[in-house]
Structure 1
Amino acid sequence: MEENQPKTGKLALIFGGLSGITGIVFSVLLYLMDMQYEQGFAIQVIQFLILATFVVLAIIQFKKSNSGLLKVIEAVKIAPGVAVISFIIGIIWFLLFSNVIEPDFMAKSAEIAKVKTLAENPKMTPEQFDQGMKIQQDFFWVLMCVFMLISAIFATIVGLITGLILKKEDAAY
């Protein structure tokens, strides 16, 4: 039985890849609708739903490939792997998009953020905003690691819930 058990890493790679590709398709759709600068709540929810969907699908596939058996720990192992692979693909896409497809994306995003932030915080000076943006640019990769960690934690929670719902262990006789 142990020899035929599916590999959690392989499923994380496959479904993380599918999640990443789906995220890219969503991003392209936003771009085609001229909504690439939108960062509203609904867009964030859709992005997390894409990830959650592929985490659940990976766990279901694991259970099917494992003769209908699933331990919660197996679900929890798969979930963050899906998130990390998906996130890496998303970062690669973002770098391609912001440097090749839409080279002024970062400058336009910063300008939109500046207008919005200064309108919401009238006491903030443009110099203070620029200083904050400089710090954000200096710590870009640190922020990406934090976002990847948040993604992995979210996926782990989804994996835990899915594992608890779908768990079925071999009867110990």
Structure 2
Amino acid sequence: MEEKKLKVGQYALKFGLIAGGISLLFSLMLFFQGMHYEQSTVATVVGIAIVFGVIAFGINQFKKDNEGFLKLGQALKLGTGIALVGAIIGLIYYALLSNDIIEPGFMEKATAIAKEKTFAENPQLTQEQWDQGMEMQNKFKFLAYPFILIFNIIIGLVAGLIFGLIMKKDKPGY
């Protein structure tokens, strides 16, 4: 029983690194094209699709290597683990970007773009209201990291559940 847990962890790490690597490449592609300031729905959907795809491959590979058997609990652990490892890699990239290591002045430029967009969408907004909002945002900026981790874990759980239900096959007698 203990070997299965170790095996699940090994697959979660391996495929989590793959998910993180592919997501990092996608983020770098956006960065080099100057599209990393845009918070487009398409980029978000592609990012989630990358995680879902790697989780599907990881669960499928685990099932193949486990003599064609897969328990739902194993799929949930794999989905969660893969998403968590991938998210940690993404958070490292985000920390490097937002702390001016990859691109000096990133946060200032991102804030300027957000301000321009916000005022265009809300012409009744005053500068004082904007400043209050930014002050509040700065107070809670640290919450971005745990929120991103939690969001990715939920994505991993959902993907693990979906693919686990699809691929589940218990050993006879269990």
Query: Scaled by the length of structure 2, what TM-score is found?
Result: 0.91
Partner of 1:131: 132
Equivalent residue for 2:76?
Answer: 76
Aligned residues: 172
Q: State whether residues 20 and 86 of structure 2, in contact with CA within 8 Å, keep that contact through their aligned partners in structure 1.
A: yes
Task: Write the distance in 2 (CA, Å) between the matches of 1:141 and 1:156.
Answer: 24
- What one-letter code is carried by the residue in structure 2 that aligns with 1:143? A
3-state SS, counterpart of residue 100 of structure 1: coil
CA contact (8 A) 1:55 1:159 kept: yes
RMSD: 1.6
Determine the structure 1 residue equivalent to 2:155. Answer: 154
Distance in 1 between residues matched to 2:93 and 2:79, nearest whole Å: 21
Say whether the 8 Å CA contact 1:51–1:83 is kept in structure 2: yes
Query: 1:84, 1:151 within 8 Å by CA — same for their partners in 2?
Result: yes
Shift of the alpha carbon at 1:122? 1.5
> Take 2:152 and 2:104, find their aligned partners in 1: how far apart are those partners?
26
User: How much identity, in percent, do the aligned residues show?
Assistant: 41
C-alpha distance in 2 between matches for 1:83 and 1:163: 15
C-alpha distance after superposition, 1:21-70 (max 9, x if no partner) = 11111111112212111111101000101111111111111111211100
TM-score normalised over the length of structure 1: 0.92
Aligned position for 2:63: 63
Distance 2:74 2:80 in 1: 11
Secondary structure (helix, strand or coil) at the match of 2:124 reads: coil
In 2, Cα distance between equivalents of 1:126 and 1:82: 43
Deviating above 4 A after TM superposition, structure 1's stretches of 4 or more consecutive aligned residues are none
Q: Distance in 2 between matches of 1:89 and 1:80?
A: 14
Q: Counterpart of 1:86?
A: 86
